[in-house]
Structure 1
Amino acid sequence: MKIELWSDFACPFCYIGKKRFEQALEAFPHKDQVEVVLKAYQLNPNARKVMTASPAETFAKGHRMSVDQAKQRFEMFKTQAQTVGLTYNYDIIKMTNSFDAHRLAKWSNQFGKEYELTGRLMKAYFTDGINIANMDALVKIAKEVGLDEKEAKNVLKSDKYADQVHNEINEGRQIGVQGVPFFVLNRKYGVSGAQPVEYFTQVLEKLWEEEKPKFETIDGADKGAACTDETCEI
């Protein structure tokens, strides 16, 4: 079973959706046979590397709403996050560009660290108020998950993995991703949004049922002679 997840570190519902999916996967009896592939996406590719206004003002401008409406939206995000044990601190959040963070995540994949780093970057953005467009901050985060600081800095100083990030974003658009989180299941089904844990559980069960080999008995066969784990009978 293969599940591809398009998400952005700066997307409030991506962090929530990732947590809900993880809860469903953890309880799934066949979780060891589920391959999860992370894909990059940017909600705001034109975001600055340094935020120049307040979080509410920045969000309001980007979403064409009033500052009061932005603050109301923040409260909704915070409430949703709390349902899965996450803390969103919109008073200190740095709404900056996520492209370099995506490049770093793609580099980390070769070390088996992409999933862990993704979770840490989301926490850095929504909980810790860290600017994930800042190179020094990204290097520090990379070190926290066991990655080499010098190598991480070299990647960030270059344009390495930029093509991969662009390709994954374009791939998502080609298959119909218009918002994130977006889950693609065995390249057969698409699930959009931070769905409830129960829904993800149903999805995993459905995929498993479809993947199990099914056999039909040809008409005319009797019980026949066969052995079980206990005995052999005619």
Structure 2
Amino acid sequence: MAVQVEIWTDINCPFCYLGKRRFEEALAGFAHRDAVEVVHRSFELDPTLDRGHSDAVVPHIAAKYGISEAQAAANERGIGAQAEAVGLTYRTEGRDFGNSFDMHRLLHFALAQGRQEALLDALYEANFADARPLFGDSERLVEVAVSAGFEESDVRAVLADPDAYADAVRADEAEAARLGARGVPFFVFDRTYGVSGAQPPEVFAQALERAWRDHAPVLESLGDGEVCGPDGCALPEPR
């Protein structure tokens, strides 16, 4: 018996990076953590970007939200402070963003091998902690996947075939839309409870407890009577 937690994310998303760590903190303190199955699902923040696209994050944020680059840079520093508070490295300057479709295809390849978590962590570290650009360079993507323990030839084979795992990515995105996800991270517990955003660990802990309670409900007693157990049977009251 297991509780399934599905997490829709995008490598571009800093709050997905934070949310994963906060969820992990909640999961570590959950009494039934060994019975929780975590699956990461695909969500592209901007699926219209061309493959190979790479650009600087701060000017992009400024243009997208109609704020100054100074304000965008301050926002990045604020996220960096939140990351530091949970023990994550977050570069507040020099990061890039781009099309993440091939990354999601590789994450489905890793899921099929039972090692999705390792690749996701490597991609997050490459994007948010490493000084080198991540997007728009397939060789960089190969390097990251190999560093996570995957065979180079297998990674190159997936990237060389644009159809490999593409349907799985699109199915995840269609399911996110069906479930009403408007942004990421988006957490779904046993297809019953949804949590949107990089919430505090306490919120994830409550969701885990509720999902577990519903998954393995406690019986409500409607009356007690005489029973037999390992030590014998209860003696009837003398009349």
Cα distance, 1:216 vs structure 2: 4.2
TM-score by length of 2: 0.89
Name the counterpart of 1:18. Answer: 20
- Is residue 8–residue 98 contact of structure 1 (8 Å, CA) maintained in 2? yes
1: CA distance between counterparts of 2:117 and 2:160? 22
Among residues 79, 82, 92, which one is paired with 2:81 in the alignment?
79
Map 1:26-105 to 2 at 5 A.
26-47=28-49, 49-52=52-55, 54-105=56-107
Verify: 1:141 aligned to 2:144, yes or no: yes
Distance 2:152 2:217 in 1: 46
Conserved? CA contact 1:12–1:77, under 8 Å = yes
Shift of residue 223 of structure 1? 2.6
4+ residue runs of structure 1 moved beyond 4 angstroms?
A: 216-219
Please give the root-mean-square deviation of Cα atoms over the aligned residues, in Å. 1.7
Question: What percentage of residue pairs aligned between the two structures are identical?
Answer: 37
Give the conservation status (yes or no) of the 8 Å contact 2:142–2:155.
Answer: yes
CA drift at 1:21: 0.4
C-alpha distance in 1, partners of 2:108/2:128? Answer: 21
Paired with 1:216 and 1:99, the residues of 2 have a C-alpha distance of 48
Tell me: CA distance 1:63–1:223, structure 2 relative to 1, closer, same or farther (3 Å): same
2: CA distance, partners of 1:191 / 1:55: 26
Look up the SS of the partner of 2:97 in the other structure: coil
Contact 2:100 2:135 in 1 (8 A): yes
Deviations 1:182-217 (A, max 9, x none): 001111111000011112112111222222243344
TM-score (norm 1): 0.91
Residue of 146, 161, 164 corresponding to 2:168:
164
Q: 2:179: which partner in 1?
A: 175
99-108 or 125-134, which deviates more: 125-134
User: What's the counterpart of residue 131 of structure 1?
Assistant: 134
Inter-partner Cα distance in structure 1 for 2:167 and 2:68? 36
Unaligned runs of 5+ in 1: none
Counterparts of 1:185 and 1:162 in 2: how far apart (Å)?
25
Name the SS of the counterpart of 1:95 in structure 2: strand
1:106 and 2:108 are equivalent in the alignment: yes
